[in-house]
Amino acid sequence: MKAQEKLKLQKNMRQKCDTVSKVLKALAHPQRLLILCSLSTGEKTVGEIEQACEASQSAVSQFINRMRLEGLISSEKRGAYVYCKIADQKIDRLIQSLYKIYCG
């Protein structure tokens, strides 16, 4: 492999590591993981997430807003309800893998 190709591969790997590091940092909170685990079975309303996580509406809303800004989840208002789902298939696969490893 030529030196230029090696440098290009190393630069690409550094960029991907930066991206993965940001994702892992965003996941590094038990309540966030619980919300994402809940959403890994499909979209849910904020109320359903509150029940699944046994957390207050204000706490869940704060977590959802932050995770939405970080691109982990998306939400959509339909009538009186806000529905949330995991925004990225890679995140969904990661959460499901973590579930299998640690909870399965």
Q: Is the pLDDT of residue 94 over 80?
A: yes
Alpha-carbon distance of 37 to 7, in angstroms, equals 38
pLDDT at 11: 86
13-63: per-residue pLDDT in tens?
Answer: 889 898 889 889 988 999 999 999 999 999 999 999 999 999 999 999 999
pLDDT at 35: 95
> Average pLDDT over the chain, rounded to whole?
91
* Entry pTM: 0.84
Q: Return the half-sphere exposure (C-beta side, CA atoms, 13 A cut-off) of residue 4.
A: 0
User: Domains (ranges, CATH) in the chain?
Assistant: 30-102 (1.10.10.10)
